[in-house]
Amino acid sequence: MKYTSEYRENRTVIQIAQAISQMTTHPWNIMEICGGQTYAIAYYRLQEILPSQITLLHGPGCPVCVTPEPTIDLAVDLALRPATILATFGDMMRVPGSREDLLHAKARGADVRLLYSPLDAVQLAEENKDKEVIFFAIGFETTLPVHLTALREALRRGLTNFSLLTSFFRVSPAVESILQDPRSVVDAFLTAGHVCAITGNAAYRKLSEQYQTPMAVTGFEPADLLYGIYCCIDMLERGTYNVVNAYKRAVPEEGNPKARALMDEMLEPCPCDWRGIGEIPDSGLRLREKYAPYDAEKRFVETWHATSPGTAHNRDAARHISATSSKTIIGHQKQTCIAGDIMRGYKQPAQCPCFGTTCTPDHPVGAPMVSQEGSCATFYLIDN
């Protein structure tokens, strides 16, 4: 397959790995910022062909993994409303909230549907005009234009029973939060090529300059990843820093202007909780006020107490319930989850005492064991 198979060729991979070995003289820690990259690194066992001085760290690169408990709790509460269909992607069904996940809510009678596209949720709303259809939309900048296109389609069709529960993240503020962390051991970053294909590289150029840290815009095939690592090691060994676009076939410098315009028109930055990491300023995106009728959180907050007394009525209330609930399903276990330490680069998944014992993809304790792009699930599934 053009643009794919040539980036998997053994000869190319070995040549780049050898070049990296020849130039590496110091220990270096390089963090990838995308769950897809983490998966490819594990699948192709790239750590094993790198010199022992290089350690790959696995950053907060999976929106499923960083969606906080209060947002899951809110999704569960919304799903349990009468005459409501809550639709979402498959990965979100088993992400633990503080009380239960969406699969448990479904077993308790909530109408929770697994969809492959937010546009399918628009069709669902068209076919179920007597019900509220809420699409639980999560993602980094890569997928946000798809969610927004679905909302635009709902507007075009004049649907008034469609809304989005959003869990939208901006990646560059998370990178900055790691750069600002005094405990951070990260020497260089592989930025996520598909995010940069939307946003462009400007935010990373600013961060690289400000924190004097090398970065490489990197793709997802083994040769792409090794070339990104090569660019980082080259800068580290020479004592320089910059953003090198190592994925030029997919990432124009300015990103995708149409997608960015759509996001600017419909979304505004907001503070955001990253599960395991905490709140990061301006790292979230929410629908602008003019789209409030299609924002499930805003839309149902007014009527919440009348329809569901005693439940959380917004994310803040859900956060409080998460913190104080004494009847959590997983509460006794989640204390041991070190997902935050893994996503900040302090630890590797196998260093978690629960990894592969009490925490497996069939019985996930933390969100990184739920999604295939979560680092814990990635390494567990590939090693087993």
376 binds ligand SF4 (CB under 6 A): yes
Distance CA 28, CA 262 (A): 39
Question: Which listed range, 80-88, 91-99, 167-175, 351-359, lies at the site for ligand SF4 (CB under 6 A)?
Answer: 351-359
Distance CA 178, CA 211 (A): 11
CB of 347 to ligand SF4, least distance (A): 8
Among 148, 168, 366, 371, binds ligand SF4 (CB under 6 A): 366
349 binds ligand SF4 (CB under 6 A): yes
**8 A C-beta contact, residue 273 and residue 279:** yes
Strand 84-88 to 132-139 pairing: parallel
Number of amino acids touching ligand SF4 (CB under 6 A): 15
Question: Which listed range, 52-60, 196-204, 222-230, 362-370, lies at the site for ligand SF4 (CB under 6 A)?
Answer: 362-370
Query: Based on the number of CB atoms within 10 Å of its own CB, is 331 exposed (0-12), middle (13-18) or buried (19 or more)?
Result: middle
Tell me which residue has its CB nearest to ligand SF4.
366
230 binds ligand SF4 (CB under 6 A): no
Among 355, 361, 373, 378, binds ligand SF4 (CB under 6 A): 355
Distance CA 297, CA 69 (A): 15
226 binds ligand SF4 (CB under 6 A): no
359 binds ligand SF4 (CB under 6 A): yes
Q: Which of residues 303-342 bind ligand SF4 (CB under 6 A)?
A: 336-339, 342
**8 A C-beta contact, residue 106 and residue 112:** yes
Residue 121 token pair? 């949720």
Report the 3 state secondary structure along 337-373: CCHHHHHCCCCCHHHCCCECCCEECCECCCHHHCCCC
Among 144, 174, 277, 365, binds ligand SF4 (CB under 6 A): 365
Residue 292 token pair? 């409030």
Measured from the CB atom, the residue of 13 and 33 that comes closer to ligand SF4 is 33
231 binds ligand SF4 (CB under 6 A): no
Q: Which of 34, 61, 58 is nearest to 345 (CA)?
A: 58
60 binds ligand SF4 (CB under 6 A): no
Instruction: Name every residue whose Cβ is closer than 8 Å to that of residue 2 and which is 6 or more positions away in sequence.
Output: none
CB of 336 to ligand SF4, least distance (A): 6
Backbone φ and ψ for 335, nearest 5 degrees, come out as -60, -30
Where along the sequence are the contacts to ligand SF4 (CB under 6 A)? 336-339, 342, 349, 352, 354-355, 359, 365-366, 368-369, 376
